[in-house]
Amino acid sequence: MTERRLAPLSALSTLTRRPRVELPAAPRTPLPAEPVARPRMVDNAVYSDGRRVATPDSAEESREELGLGEGRLAWLGLYRPDAGELGALAELFDLPELAVEDAIKAHQRPKFERYGSTLFVVLKAARYLDAAEEVEFGELHLFLGRDFAITVRHSESPDLSRVRRRLESEPALLAKGSEAVLYATLDAVVDGYRPVVDGLANDIDEIETQVFGGDPGVSRRIYELSQEVLEFQRAAQPLTGILVAITAGFDKYGVDEELRSYLRDVADHVAQVTERVEGFRLQLRDILTVNATLVAQRQNEEIRELTETSIAQGEEVKKISAWAAILFAPSLVGGVYGMNFDHMPELDEWWGYPFALLLMFGVSLTLYVVFKRRDWI
């Protein structure tokens, strides 16, 4: 891979320097300050017996410092380096090409690979944003060799400066080499999972309260939180396989006994996290089922109430219809006789008026009996 070298800043400033022209002072509106670009080489140190003996300005100087004594360790921390910078590091420290490509592209799943004497580890840090109920992930790549440790971050988390300070405060641990950097980084990543687990547990408790409180918007919250749990599970679960692979190489690569116990402790913590996350996934699945059942029950209750209301309204309509039909018969007869025609049947007979009344009463009584038998009235 071709090394790309940049000209020193002093040289660039000399080339671009122009004669200064004095201009009359004029009032100017202050411009907003431009954001300062974060340096890609966050920290660069060389250690001997666990103590910092040099803070080189470049990776080349770190490589030179390693040749000044036995048992030295160079630890370079980078933040979102470009392909040229990683290519230069690959040539200086003989990094595997495939691993460098992964580090450049990022967006890798957690994994552990061994390329000869060089280890390549990808980790996913996580932190929980309670307000948004989202898990924010940060990707971290580690290149670990006999005398060097290179960490490449593609996000703000995890905070490796704390890891470095911790190891520098324990020289005996840092003196164990790059394996100590791997342990401390794994420990920091796994410790960062605990607040995430607590945040998820708290939100699940809130969701259970919403479900049994009849909140109609809880289904969406359950679904979105389930997706966050699945993403977190994809980040944490591969650590089990990574630690198994590391543990399998303890004897073959002569890992220090103290580091072995530390890594086993990290493996126990990972197992606890993965078990809880799997429990969250199953719990949310059950909560979603219970919520669907409760929603169906509420819908059935509403349908039953609507049905009962419709039946009651139907009964009232039948009663009204029945009485309307009973009153319609005398109204019809009375309406016919009320038209005052000159020639009408029985108009001149004495029994005409009683017959009309009897007819209206008889029809009404017959209709009443019919509707009564059918329970309409």
Quick: pLDDT tens for 39-90: 578 889 999 999 999 999 999 999 999 988 888 999 999 998 888 888 999 9
pTM summary value? 0.70
The pLDDT, as a whole number, for residue 104 is 87
pLDDT top residue among 338 and 354:
354
What is the pLDDT, as a whole number, of residue 204?
92
Instruction: Indicate whether 2 pLDDT > 80.
Output: no
Tokens for 336, please give them.
């016919």
Domain that holds residue 66: 37-295
Last residue of one domain, picked from the residues 265, 295, 325:
295
Residue 10 included in any domain: no
Secondary structure class of 42 (helix, strand, coil): strand
248 and 366 fall within a common domain: no
Residue partners of 165: CB distance under 8 A and separation at least 6: none
User: Do 284 and 321 share a domain, yes or no?
Assistant: no
* Within-domain flag for 13: no
* Residues 25, 44: Cα–Cα separation, whole Å: 44
Which of 170, 120, 176, 117 minimizes the C-alpha distance to 150?
120
**In sequence order, what are the beta bridge partners of 140?**
123, 153
pLDDT digits (tens, 9 = 90+) for 244-268: 888 888 777 778 888 889 999 999 9
Mean pLDDT of 90-112: 89
Mean pLDDT for 222-243 is 91
Does 32 have pLDDT greater than 80?
A: no
* 329 in the same domain as 291: no
From the list 182, 199, 142, 196, the residue with the least C-alpha distance to 267 is 182
Find the mean pLDDT for residues 232-242.
91
Domain count, the chain: 2
DSSP state of 110: P
Q: Is residue 192 part of a domain?
A: yes
pLDDT at 349 (0 to 100): 67
What average pLDDT is seen over the chain? 81
Domain assignment present for residue 277? The answer is yes
Residue with tokens 């006999």: 146
Model confidence at 338: pLDDT above 90 = no
Backbone angles phi, psi at 203, to 5 degrees: -70, -35
The contacts of residue 76 (CB under 8 Å, 6+ apart) are: 41, 43, 44, 59, 62, 89, 148, 149, 150, 151
